[in-house]
Amino acid sequence: MIPLKLARHHLTKNKTQTLPFILSNSMWVMITYIFFSMIHDTNLKAMAYGTETDYILKLGLVFVVLIATLSTFYAERLLSKQRMQELGLYSILGLTKHHLRQIVFWENILFYLICMVIGSAFGFAFSKFAFMGLKSLIGTTLLHQTLTWTPLLFDVLVFAVVFSLIILFDFWELRKVDPIDLWGKTAQPEKEPKSHLFLAILGLIILAIGYYISVTVKPTQDAFSRFIVAVLFVVVGSYLVFITTSISGLKALKKRPKYYYQPNHFISVSNMLYRMKQNGAGLASISLLCTSVLVALTASFSLIAGEKNIIDFYGPRDVQIVAPKPLSPVEKQHIKRIAKQNHITMRAPQTVSVTTPVTGVLIGDRFKQNTIHKANYVLSSLDLKQYNRLQRTHYRLARDEVLVYVSGSRYDKQALKIQGKRYRVKPIAQFSGAFAYGHLMTFKLVFVVAANKKIAHEINPYPEIYAQGFNIAGTNKQQKRFSNTVQQTLKVASENFTSKPVVRSLLQAIFGSLLFMGILISLVMICATVMIIYYKQVSEGYADQKYYRVMSEIGLSRQETTHAIRSQVLTVFLLPIVGAVINLGFALPALKSSLSELGLYDSKILTMVSVILTAVLLVSYMLIYMATAHVYRHIVNQGMV
Amino acid sequence: MSLLVLKHIKKSFSTGHQNEIQALKDVSFSVDKGDYVAIMGESGAGKSTLLNIIATLTHPTSGKITMNGIDLSHLSENEAAKFRRTQLGFVFQSFNLLDTFNNRDNIYLPLVLAKKSPQFMANRLAPLSQLLGIANLLDRQSFEISGGQKQRVAIARALITEPRLLLADEPTGALDSSNTEKILNIFERVNSKGQTILMVTHSAQAASYSRRTLFIKDGKIYNELYRGDQSRNQYLQKIIDSLTALEEVQ
């Protein structure tokens, strides 16, 4: 069969182009297999919080398949010029359209088979490994894996669909052009890109709006949805800026003869104009891919790193019961009995009584009560005697004086106005009785210590509640069983009952699966980025062949030409990563607000994690760039005399 | 006074397995300042190799080539590039204009590389674009104009540096007869103003515009014709006779 032979010939002859395609697609087959395997071959759903984890994984899976498909199409488009020329030659040599379709068909079938075999083999091997990773990240021993054929079946089906789409796309490309066009497609030069001033400015404005939203997101309950809106703006803005603003900017530079007619600027400005036209969308995609890698990993690593802070936010003791009155002797007996049954020892009991917290906002030094959806603080009050006892301090307060504690920050105003009265403030950094009432993690906690109970009630007139807690020792399993039994026996509503061992496993399950997915998705995106960069180098190489030849004849040494073109190509390749870092910079405030929703207030952790990740990304990006650069050089040198 | 002198130039290519192809066997000739030399020969006779050596794009295996007293046989790559930039102008069969520039910038390219000011470049271009009749094409892209127009833009690019030597490689090879005539007339006019030209060509018609024609065969100079006071037709007839004689020698 001639078409099959020609297809095989193409695959083996153009190794520099087919190998990366095979590698990246195999990688996606592998990762998709792992996702399917985690969802279908494990008892994840049966685990505590398994439904959440399962949901997160399925979301990730959809995302991976989407990214894989899109970047494959993008690579196909980059190479299609070169490819169409080759097929055009066949067509001139007498092959019919039907034959060409057959060649394209067989090519993709071969690609599909190769990628499926490699991908599933590695997927099978690595799913065991990934499973162990997931297990340790979620922190459970109950998770187990039974290997079945289901993931493979799904994997085969999903990629059959992807490759069918590719085949249809290629057919469409073939349909569009007739043989003579095919032959000349690469030779046909491109018009100088037009400047779309309106779109260029619009892009900048949209990007600015996105950044503005992100920076001004308040840590209230709708922080996350506002973050999503900001993301949408930044995505649209990035594409517009990369595609149109860059061209308008370059055109403006070109209009300044003093700047334009200098050897380096002359070559780079004119060349960049064309590159940006062809590459604007691709560069914007790389930039957004890098941004999402940075944001996803920053968020998940920060959550893992900040897990202890989050857990401590729930309250000062391992187990805590909040109630309108102190625990009765009978209830205390129950707890003791359950502890004994579960081999738990209890230590450091502590009871704090504070007024029921009210939600509100701080405007300057005035606390204004507000509905829960518009608030970002909860405030309760207590008397000095309790505070001094808990902290072992010896503060004295006048009637118009208060101590103010704000979780995660310091109250820096001189006074506090509340309930129509003004109090002078002594800020305090410590309050070992602080707890998040009703597990409301989105709010900053404010505790106001007044001279006595009467004044405390003037500050916050709501009835007192008692937070009663103690630490426990025992195995993780015993601790959880003890906690659950206590809660059931005493019939405590879940928002009034805190058990850190239980919270810890919940957070581990959620954060662990988030990180697991973050890592897998980042792998996919890095792979997509590598593939796009690689094929960009290849297509740019072909585009620059003639350039090098003409330049050398006009009297620019190869070294000088290389220098001029490389520095400019490097600029083009660095743009997306610069864009990604800027995006991350603006995403951090919104990220901070969204994460505080989950109880993470430590912005130091967030900053550190993002700086480290940015550095890692920069280094790996440059490595990828340099590793692919030799392909470019090779292609360019083919065109020399 | 001789501008370009070639003495016993040899060039061989090894094709592996100790096989050597001798592209140029022993070529000696010189080109005077203000001369217009055509080099003719069949494909594979060594014309392109000769041109590449003169253009400093490749080194001869042995022999000596000097231009304006500078020894070209041993220039480093950077020196060669600088030499090309300052001393030579190139015109090619396939024009070799860059699509990323408009015509004006294509012409400016060598001057920009030589770091000349925009004003200087504009002053140089004005008379040249009049001479070549391309004044109204300057702001268009190179792919928007015809082949003959492209070649005139390419000639402008070659001449704008006021090179000592203009090298032309089949400059009319891709053009129709009316455009061919235009280009050859331009060459003749430029030469009459003192520009030294060395042209490689297949076409007897193109060669008939030159002052001197060298015939090259099997890597050697085989014959040499001077136009002298002959009319172009007489000269053309002699060139054709010489080509016929060349074919008969086996």
Of A449, A471, A498, which residue sits at a domain end?
A498
Residue B1 has pLDDT above 90, yes or no: no
Interface test with B, best of A247, A261, A268 (most B CBs within 10 A): A261
Give the count of alpha carbons within 13 A of A615, CB side only.
Answer: 5
pLDDT of residue B165: 93
Inspect the interface and report whether the beta carbons of A273 and B100 lie closer than 8 Å. Answer: yes
Same-domain pairing of A428 and A284:
no
Does one domain contain both A344 and A463?
Answer: yes
What pLDDT band is residue A183 in, cutting at 50, 70 and 90? very low
Name the residue among B81, B82, B99 with its Cβ closest to that of A189. B99
User: Quick one: closest CA in B to A257, which residue?
Assistant: B118
Judge: A555–B86 Cβ closer than 8 Å, yes or no.
yes
The answer to whether the Cβ–Cβ distance between A547 and B86 falls below 8 Å is: no
pLDDT at position A186: 46
pLDDT tens readout for residues A552-578: 777 777 777 777 667 666 777 788 888
Which residues of chain A are within 8 Å of residue B108 when distances are taken between CB atoms?
Answer: 261, 266
Judge: B110–A553 Cβ closer than 8 Å, yes or no. Answer: no
State whether residue B104 sits within 8 Å of chain A by CB.
no
Starting at the edge strand found earlier in the chain, the sheet holding B2-14 runs B70-71, B62-67, B2-14, B20-32, B220-226, B212-217, B36-40, B196-201, B165-169, B88-92
Task: Verify that A78 and A150 share a domain, yes or no.
Answer: yes
Q: Which residues of B touch A559 (CB under 8 A)?
A: 77-78
Q: Which of chain A's residues have a Cβ under 8 Å away from the Cβ of B109?
A: 266, 554
- Cα B182 from Cα B171, distance rounded (Å): 11
CB nearest A557 (choices: B81, B97, B109)? B81
Query: Using a CB-CB distance cutoff of 8 angstroms, which residues of chain A are in contact with residue B86?
Result: 555
Q: What is the mean pLDDT of the segment spanning A502-528? A: 78
pLDDT at A122 exceeding the cut of 60: yes
Does position A219 have pLDDT exceeding 70, yes or no?
Answer: no
Is the Cβ–Cβ distance between B131 and B162 less than 8 Å? no
- Domain of A81 in residue numbering reads as 1-188
Domain check: are A286 and A299 in the same one?
yes
Same domain membership, residue A466 and residue A516:
no
- Cα–Cα distance between A282 and B201 in angstroms, integer? 45
Q: Is the per-residue pLDDT at A597 higher than 70?
A: no
- Cα(A106)–Cα(A371) distance, rounded to whole angstroms? 64
pTM score? 0.66
Same domain, A142 and A266: no
Query: Is residue A157 located within the same domain as residue A237?
Result: no
User: What average pLDDT score do residues A107-114 get?
Assistant: 90
Does the CB of A1 have a partner CB in chain B at under 8 Å?
no
Q: Are residues A491 and A630 in the same domain?
A: no
For residue B100, give how far its alpha carbon lies from the nearest alpha carbon of chain A (Å).
Answer: 6
**Residues A467 and A324 reside in one and the same domain:** yes
Record: contact A189-B96, CB cut-off 8 A: no
Q: Domain ends where: A498, A527, A561?
A: A498
pLDDT tier for residue A159 given thresholds of 50, 70 and 90: very high
pLDDT value at residue A146 = 80
What would the DSSP string read from start to end of A312-369?
HHH-SSSEEEEESSPPPHHHHHHHHHHHHHTT-EEEEEEEEEEEPPEEEEEETTEEEE
For residue A192, give the chain B residue with the closest CA.
B100
At residue A185, the pLDDT reads 44
Distance from CA of B194 to the nearest CA of A (A): 22
Average pLDDT, integer, range A407-425: 86
Residues A16 and A92 in one domain: yes
Residues of chain A positioned with their CB less than 8 A from the CB of B115: 262-263
Contact B143 A558 (CB under 8 A): no
Mean pLDDT of A193-218: 85
* pLDDT at site A171: 86
The residues, any chain, with a CB within 8 Å of residue A532's CB and separated by 6 or more, are A71, A74, A75, A282, A285, A286
Question: Last residue of a domain, which of A472, A498, A524?
Answer: A498
Confidence class for position A498, pLDDT limits 50, 70, 90: confident
Number of helices (H), then strands (E), in chain B: 8, 10
Enumerate the residues of chain B whose CB falls inside 8 A of the CB of residue A547. 98, 100
Q: What is the percent of chain A with per-residue pLDDT over 90, rounded to a whole number?
A: 8
- A27-82, pLDDT tens digit by residue? 889 888 988 888 888 777 776 666 767 777 787 788 778 878 877 887 777 777 66
Query: Is any Cβ of chain A less than 8 angstroms from the Cβ of B110?
Result: yes
Contact A263 B112 (CB under 8 A): yes
Same domain for A46 and A163, yes or no, is: yes
Average pLDDT on A208-232 reads 78
Instruction: Provide the number of structural domains found in chain A.
Output: 3
- What average pLDDT does chain A have? 81
A253 and A133 part of one domain? no
State the SS3 of B41-96.
CCCCCCHHHHHHHHCCCCCCCEEEEEECCEECCCCCHHHHHHHHHHHEEEEECCCC
